Amino acid sequence: MLQDHSCVFDAANSHETSSSWHRPILGITGLEMAVPEHRFAPHRHREYVIGTAISGAETCWWNRASHTVAPGKLLVIEPDHAHEAQTLGMGGWSYRALLVPESALVALDLWQGFKVGTSLINSPTLATDFVQVHHMLRNEDDAGVAEDLLIDVLGRVASVVTPTCVVTPRVKRSFVEAAKNFIADRHAGPLPLKEISDHVGVSRYHLTRVFRDEVGLTPRQYQAQLRIDRATEGLRSGTGPADLAAELGFADQAHFTRVFKSIVGVTPGCYTARRAA
pLDDT for residue 275: 60
| 3-161: CATH class | mainly beta
Query: Where does the chain hold its CATH 2.60.120.280 domain(s)?
Result: 3-161
> Which pLDDT tens digit goes with each residue over 195-242?
999 999 998 988 998 888 888 788 988 898 899 889 988 988 899 999
| Beta strand pairing call for 39-43 and 29-35 | unpaired
CA angle 75, 218, 125 (to 5 degrees): 35
Query: Where does the chain hold its CATH 1.10.10.60 domain(s)?
Result: 168-277
* Single pTM value for the model: 0.68
Cα(179)–Cα(226) distance, integer angstroms: 13
The CATH number of 168-277 is: 1.10.10.60
pLDDT for residue 7: 40
> Which pLDDT tens digit goes with each residue over 45-98?
878 899 999 998 888 888 778 889 999 999 998 887 777 888 887 677 889 999
178 membership: H or E segment, kind and range: helix 174-186
